[in-house]
Structure formats: C-alpha cells, structure tokens
Amino acid sequence: MVTPVRRWTPCLLLTLPLLCHAADALRAGDPTRPPEGLLQPASVSAQAGEPLVLQSVLLAPDRRVAVISGQPVRVGGYVGNAKLVALDANTAVLQENGEKRVLTLLPGITHEAGAKIRPEKKR
C-alpha cells in the first residue's frame, strides 16, 4: 500500500521548480517599466543643464499637452523658466526671457498630413 506521503512526494517535487520560477518573476518587477536611468524627474534633468527634449505630444479637443524632458506641460504652462506658448503635432515653442525656442519631436524627420514619414534629405 502507498502511504499518503509517498503519493504526494512526486507532485511536490514537480511543483517546487514552478514556485521558484514564480518567485524570480515577482522579484524582477514590471518588465514594461523603463530602466531606472530614464525615470529621473524632469526638474533634475533641467537643473543638470541638459537640453530640453520634446518627447511626446497630446492634441485633444479639450487639452494640448507636451512631454518635455519627462515633464507633462500644458500650453501656457512652464518647464523650468520657459513657457510653452505653441504646440502642434511635431513641434513645441517655448518662450524664455523674450526669446523663442522651437523643440522638434523627431529631429531630422519631416511629416506631412496624410503622407508617410520619411527622413530629411541631407544637403
């Protein structure tokens, strides 16, 4: 006659590696999360003297938002000392100390409505 311990031993031995794998997966964290170096607050990047970068643009009927160096900024809002004065699908215009500065979403690539995106020709 097989004792209950002997009956369950193979099941436990087969389950143990699966439990270890699950524990490793939990320790790994979210696989879709960007690397830690990319998660610095925008204010830290701006204070470090790094150039501002237009990363994303959201144009909706009720809001217009640009993500500049990791910080969401509405039209009329500020990133550092610069005010976002204009926004379209590819560019954000900042004004600081009376000077305008244009940030481009994808530098080196031009896009026309209804056309395929293509690299700019080198001159």
Domain 1-123 fold: SH3 type barrels. (2.30.30)
Please name which of 31, 50, 54, 30 lies closest in space to residue 40, comparing C-alpha atoms. 50
Could you say which residues of the chain have pLDDT below 50? 42-47
Domain ranges of the chain: 1-123
pLDDT of residue 6: 74
pLDDT of residue 42: 47
pLDDT of residue 38: 55
Please name which of 77, 85, 81 lies closest in space to residue 96, comparing C-alpha atoms. 81
**DSSP helix/strand/coil, 65:** strand
pLDDT of residue 106: 76
- Residue length of the chain: 123
Q: What is the DSSP string of 90-110?
A: SEEEEEETTEEEEEESSTTEE
